[in-house]
Amino acid sequence: MLIIILFVFLSCDKQDNRLQPNFKAEVIKYDSRKAYCIYGWYLKIGKDTILSFSDKIRTEIGFLIDKPIKVHISAKPLDCGCKTPIYEIISIEKYD
């Protein structure tokens, strides 16, 4: 698993080194399939869906998601050539 995460992270170019502002988001699911462009956590921001394989989500949310979890996130986009945009999560915090 660590090798896949390192491969995906190293193969992505950072589009922008600036931190993105805080977003209200919902963590909607975790996909454990170990395949490029689908592995990780899916988050909904407004009408958009993004993907992240950040350990910060694992620490704060975990793997079992039975309903959407509301969070505030700061994130940086990564250019990985995937259909779903992939983001590096800088910070994440649950809220009600």
Predicted confidence pLDDT, tens digits, the chain (96 residues): 444 444 444 456 554 444 456 789 999 999 998 777 888 999 999 999 999 999 999 999 999 999 999 999 999 999 888 888 999 999 999 998
Total tally of structural domains belonging to the chain: 1
Q: What is the pTM of this model?
A: 0.77
pLDDT given at position 70: 97
pLDDT given at position 10: 46
Where b means 16+ CB within 10 Å and e means fewer, 54-85 reads bebbeebbeeebeeebebebbbebbebeeeeb
Q: Which residues form the domain of 87?
A: 2-94
Spatial separation of the C-alpha atoms in residues 24 and 95, rounded to whole Å:
9
